[in-house]
Amino acid sequence: QGQLVESGGGLVHEGESLRLSCATPVPGRTFRIRAWSWYRQTPGTERELVASIGPPGDTTYADDAKGRFTISRDNTVNMVYLQMNDLQRADTARYFCNTFTYPLLNWGQGTQVTVSS
């Protein structure tokens, strides 16, 4: 199933930007992922879907991410990205990358995003 490794989080002020990166498993004969997503979770809450990039490259976003976040991928290096602009305190969470639909891969460690005022 491979391993997911998220990076790029950090401590920023409101209005600043971050770009998150997700290193995904190298595709093989029996391993092909057609759609990827970014999720986020805060302590004591359910993990929520933030953004997805689908089979033909179509993208979707949670309502509070539209206009500020952009999901993209580079299949040549097996990376998925999340550009996060105009960050707000409500964006504070741990961010994870995974498949859009089941079966999900094992969750990685995620990367923490903390937005302060």
Report the distance separating Cα 96 and Cα 113, nearest Å.
11
**Type of residue found at 46:** E
Say yes or no to pLDDT of 12 above 80.
Answer: yes
Contact present, 115 and 17 (Cβ < 8 Å): no
pLDDT at residue 33 in the model: 74
pLDDT band at 56 (very low <50, low <70, confident <90, very high): confident
Average pLDDT over residues 89-107: 94
Q: How confident is the model at residue 5 (pLDDT cuts 50, 70, 90)?
A: very high
Q: Which residue has the tokens 């995904």?
A: 24
Report the 10 Å Cβ neighbour count for 110: 22
Position 29 confidence tier, pLDDT thresholds 50, 70, 90 = low
Q: Phi, psi at residue 36, to the nearest 5°?
A: -120, 155
For the chain, give the mean pLDDT: 93
pLDDT, position 61: 98
Give, rounded to a whole angstrom, the gap between the first and last alpha carbons of the chain: 40
From the CB of residue 106, how many other CB atoms can be counted at a distance below 10 Å? 9
The 10s digit of each residue's pLDDT in 64-96 is 999 999 999 998 899 999 999 999 999 999 999
